[in-house]
Structure 1
Amino acid sequence: MIIKNCLIITNDENNSFYENGAVYIKDKLIEDVGNSSDIVNKYEDEEVIDFEGKLLMPGMICAHSHIYSAYARGMGVSKPTDNFFNVLENQWWALDRQLTTEDVRLNALTTYMESIANGVTTVIDHHSGPNSVENSLFTLGEAAKEVGIRTNLCYELSDRDGKEIRDKEIKENIDWIKHCQKEDDDMLRGLFGLHASFTLSDESLEKAVKAMDGVYDGYHVHIAEGIEDQWDCQRKYGKRIVERLEDFGIITENTLAIHCVHINGREMDILKEHNTPVIFNPESNMNNAVGVPPVNRFIEKGLKVGLGTDAYTNDMFESMKVANIIQAHNTQDPTKGFAETLDMQFKNNPEIVSHFLNHEVGRIKKGAYADLISFKYDPYTPLNENNWGGHSLFGLTGRLVNDTIINGEFVMRDKIITKVDQAKIHADSRQRAEKIWSKL
């Protein structure tokens, strides 16, 4: 399949840019990219799709989300949410305890569809639902297959619902990771999920690490999102969170360190030593009033910082806009935020995800997965290889996405989700959400 007649932002190593470009997709991969006439003439027997001047770029990547929170949109909460712990207990944990396996499926389908509609082609998710643990990651995985999105899944281990459920959570993580290893399908990958230090005893961490022995060393863990998490760790264990996790062998190059709002220089050094990426979730941090992580100090320390949403939105362009301005605001330096945010989404997120895959994502280049998005974007200022980042931050939004291609297939074409019945899924989700809300 050849897609021709498009303005192409490749985001490759050379920042290649084509004003009238074409991409040749063979099976799941990008086989060639160049000027339209050259590509069409070179592969003359291939199907050709004319994009009629649309903007084409690599699909967006969300490095941290929570599918289980999908029903929260428009939901009222009757109990206090006046501090971080109350937000967790009275909103998120109250919600996730209500979820059935069917809710897990609906949450996944709606989140994945909206992600695709906003040009997100890969989602790294951190799941929770203590009364529907068994097969929950497999349910998420099947939903991802249905809509055709690339995803990396884990279940968040926690002590908050007792040891019996904790042990089910360990098993679900291990079963899923082993399944992904056996299938070796880059559409589905797995990590071991950990909620946070303050909800995990030494016993639980020991059991998790023992279960992972000989299986994998990749974890997905919230770190010091709220200052209370850090205080709890120092009071109980006499050390800081990253130090504690390092002692268990959890801080590795295959681990994702989420939030890290309240870590210090020593903890940053530990993360750097192990090449552990940090994932910044700007809108969620602001919404929960937990503070803003010292992103610029992370970068100065040489940490790889990726960008997620923590499920606040499924539009990475929106997340980028906030990541940019909150850094400038927080440092009181208007030169901070712009370049750093572009690096997070377009350099670091592709590297973070590609680390777990057999081929690259986030680039339009030979050998990369064909995860592409198009826009009907008519800019009123010049758009070129030197300023496409500025257009990404200040001109593009998820709502402008017209087509989404993942793994070489259209999963949205002309704004229509192609693989599932979106209207029916939304109707089913509304019905279930109303029942869930009545219990909260």
Structure 2
Amino acid sequence: MLLIKNATAVQFNPAKVQEGMDILVDGNRIVETGSGIDPSKAARIIDASHCLVMPGMVCSHNHFYSGLSRGVMADIKPCPDFVSTLKNLWWRLDRAIDEEVLYYSGLICSLEAIKSGCTSVIDHHASPSYIKGSLSTLRNAFLKAGLRGMTCFETTDRNGGIKELEAGVQENIEFAHLVSSAREKGDEPYLVEAHMGAHAPFTVSNDGLGLLSDAVRETGRGLHIHVAEDKYDASWSRHHYDQELIERLDSFDLINHKTLIGHGTYLSDSDIELLNSKDAFLVHNSRSNMNNHVGYNERLTSYKNVAIGTDGIGSDMFEELKFAFFKHRDAGGSLWPDSFVNFLDNGNRLLERNFGGHFGRLETGYQADLVIYDYNSPTPLQAENLPGHMTFGMNSGGVRTVIIDGSIVYEDGHYPFDVSAVYAEARKVARRLWTGMDNLS
């Protein structure tokens, strides 16, 4: 057993701040909390005096395939709008990804997520030149780092029509079966789950949606898809299908309590109502929307379920929380930091819907995904002002130790294995990726 002693226990929702707390972990779950837990119960003790202990954060929408795009040096044509940004940058990068590129991209992103106090990432993957086996490669990267998460393949017809759609759907199905089989065997940690992935409605035909519908039914997994990130998507659906976006997806039985919609910036009133009625989730990605100049989602208060993601801009959820709040205020929004901390915490509801179990609280029976954090506050820290501290004071630099599924994956600023060679190799692979982008027609 692992015992964390003398911590200030911090919980997001419901907000709690309790000093002098001990947390006892057995296997991958919290089995006891309180003060004065008998240290003889534990094989390992961590003294967390003067530190906070909090549930790990969840990034609810990410793209680990973009991990080696930082500072990209390739011949990228001007990108005056959203679609040209996709065509000139991201759809060239994803076509240049092979197995080695994907592994190092996934591993680097996993390591950096952990370092920032993010213990779970819901990923959305694309590599049209490397479809079969790609999700297993990503899973290997998650497991190497010890990160919890989900992934899926971004089904699309933008490169190869129906054959590409079929290959993408098949990769999602095979990965879901692999995950289920691994869980049943129980010979490794149950850290990675599956969604059924699709790029966006404007690059998935009705034939593709039919295949995805069958896949959702066969695997019991939910759909993970970008919707209405830009006005283009909504206009395309009305033009070609005479349907609103969520209406079209729902006509294929693709909207349910496991559905994850990225962005939703331009959903209609009827689509929002439909999404809410199906208990589905919207994931808000503030920095990405700003970077792609697609506009701001001013309807956050209209959604039943909102979580926060980064859409590929790292996994620092302290930073994403701040941007989400400040952009909201800049746009004239009425929400305060507590709402955004609750949105961040909602990532745990997504985990519960897909992994089962309990996430996001420092209570008996909850998953032991924990962060030990250095924070010497100059003002009182209590439940009522915790969101204010997170928005205006705390940042990922305070992350000291990270525990995922009961295992220490980052301790006192160090990983359990040497990562210098990983980063050195990633730099070599990144250069090859960038050259590959320029070699594409």
What is the distance in 1 between the residues matched to 2:344 and 2:178? 29
Is 1:115 equivalent to 2:113 in the alignment?
yes
Answer yes or no: is the 8 Å Cα contact 2:216–2:223 preserved in 1.
Answer: no
SS at match of 2:220: coil
Q: Is the 8 A contact 1:65 1:125 kept in 2?
A: yes
The Cα of 1:16 is off from its aligned counterpart by 4.0
Q: How far, CA to CA, are the matches of 1:88 and 1:16 in structure 2?
A: 42
Give the counterpart letter for 1:336 in structure 2.
L
**Contact preservation (8 Å) 1:327, 1:337:** no
Contact 2:109 2:314 (C-alpha < 8 Å) held by counterparts: no
Note the C-alpha offset of 1:166: 2.4
Paired letter, 2:129: N
Matches within 5 A, 1:151-162: 151-162=149-160
Q: Distance in 2 between matches of 1:427 and 1:69?
A: 17
Q: 2: CA distance between counterparts of 1:101 and 1:328? A: 42
Q: 1:51-105: per-residue Cα shift (whole Å, max 9, x none)?
A: 2321111101000000001111001442121110011011101001001111110
CA deviations on 1:255-301 (whole Å, 9 max, x unpaired) are 101100000110001001100010000000111011111243324xx
Q: Distance in 1 between matches of 2:3 and 2:29?
A: 12
Q: How much does 1:45 deviate?
A: 5.3
1:292-314 CA-partner distances (Å, limit 9, x unpaired): 11243324xxx110000001132
Following TM superposition, by how much is the alpha carbon of 1:121 offset from its aligned partner in structure 2, in angstroms? 0.2
* 1:411 and 2:399 correspond: no
User: Shift of residue 358 of structure 1?
Assistant: 2.6
**Whole-Å separation in 1 of the counterparts to 2:287 and 2:215:** 34
Match of 1:2, SS state, is strand
Amino acid of the structure 1 residue aligned with 2:327? I
Question: Cα gap change, 1:166/1:52 in structure 2, threshold over 3 Å: closer, same or farther?
Answer: same
Q: In 1, are the aligned partners of 2:100 and 2:429 still within 8 Å (CA)? A: no
Q: Deviations over 1:219-244 (max 9, x none)?
A: 10100101001111100000111110
Q: Distance in 1 between matches of 2:43 and 2:17?
A: 23
* Residues 376 and 297 of structure 1: CA distance in aligned 2, closer, same or farther (over 3 Å): closer
Superposition CA RMSD, Å = 1.5
Q: How does 1:103-142 map to 2 (within 5 A)?
A: 103-142=101-140
Which structure 1 residue ranges, 4+ long, deviate > 4 Å from structure 2? 43-46
Stretch moving more, 17-26 or 148-157? 17-26
Deviation, structure 1 residue 46:
4.4
SS in 2 for 1:279: strand
- Residues 1:260 and 2:259 are matched in the alignment: no
Query: Could you say which residue in structure 1 is the equivalent of 2:374?
Result: 376
CA distance in 1, matches of 2:388, 2:358: 24
Please state whether the residue corresponding to 1:213 is helix, strand or coil.
Answer: helix
What secondary structure sits across from 2:344 in the alignment?
helix
State the shift of 1:22 in Å.
1.1
- Residue 218 of structure 2 aligns to a residue whose secondary structure is coil
What SS does the corresponding residue of 1:269 show, helix, strand or coil? helix
Give, in angstroms, the shift of residue 386 of structure 1.
Answer: 2.0
Name the counterpart of 1:225.
229
CA distance in 2, matches of 1:291, 1:89: 19
Aligned to 2:283, what secondary structure does the other structure show? strand
Shift of 1:10: 3.1
Please report how far the alpha carbon of residue 110 of structure 1 lies from its aligned counterpart in structure 2 after TM superposition: 0.2
Q: Structure 1: which 5+ residue stretches go unaligned?
A: none
Residue 78 (structure 2) aligns with: 80
Question: CA contact under 8 A between 1:20 and 1:53: conserved in structure 2?
Answer: no
Structure 2: gaps (5+ residues):
184-188
Q: CA shift at 1:217, angstroms?
A: 4.7
Q: Tell me what 1:179 maps to.
A: 178
SS at match of 2:354: coil
| 2:30 maps to 1:33 | no
CA distance in 1 between partners of 2:226 and 2:234 (Å): 11
Q: Which amino acid aligns with 1:257?
A: I
Percent identity of equivalent pairs? 30
**Aligned-partner residue type, residue 433 of structure 1:** A
| Shift in CA distance, 393/267, structure 1 to aligned 2, threshold 3 Å | same
The answer to whether 1:394 aligns with 2:392 is: yes
Give the aligned partner of residue 22 of structure 2: 22
Matched, 1:311 2:308: no
- Maintained 8 Å contact 2:12/2:341: no
1:356 and 1:210, CA in 2 relative to 1: closer, same or farther beyond 3 A?
Answer: closer
Are 2:207 and 1:192 aligned? no
SS class of match (1:386): helix
Q: Is the 8 A contact 1:295 1:327 kept in 2?
A: no
Match of 1:292 among 296, 300, 304: 296
Alpha-carbon distance in 2 for matches of 1:243, 1:412? 44
Distance of 2:76 and 2:355 partners within structure 1: 43
Tell me which residue corresponds to 2:430: 433
Paired AA for residue 104 in structure 2:
L
Displacement after TM superposition at 1:20 (Å) = 1.4
Q: C-alpha separation between the residues in 2 aligned to 1:349 and 1:271?
A: 17
Q: Deviation digits for residues 323-350 of structure 1, max 9, x if unmatched?
A: 11111222x24x424222111012x221
3-state SS of paired residue (2:23)? strand
TM-score normalised to structure 1 length: 0.94
Q: CA deviation at 1:11?
A: 3.6
**Which residue does 1:8 correspond to in 2?**
9
Shift, 1:353, TM fit: 1.6
Q: Is the 8 A contact 2:3 2:23 kept in 1?
A: yes
Q: TM-score, normalised by structure 2?
A: 0.94
Q: Which amino acid aligns with 1:216?
A: G
3-state SS of the aligned residue for 1:157? coil
384-393 vs 134-143, greater mean Cα deviation: 384-393
Q: Which moved more, 1:87-96 or 1:357-366?
A: 357-366
Which secondary structure does the structure 2 equivalent of 1:95 belong to?
helix
Give the aligned partner of residue 361 of structure 1: 359
Once residues 23 and 6 of structure 1 are traced to their aligned partners in structure 2, the CA distance between those partners, rounded to angstroms, is: 8
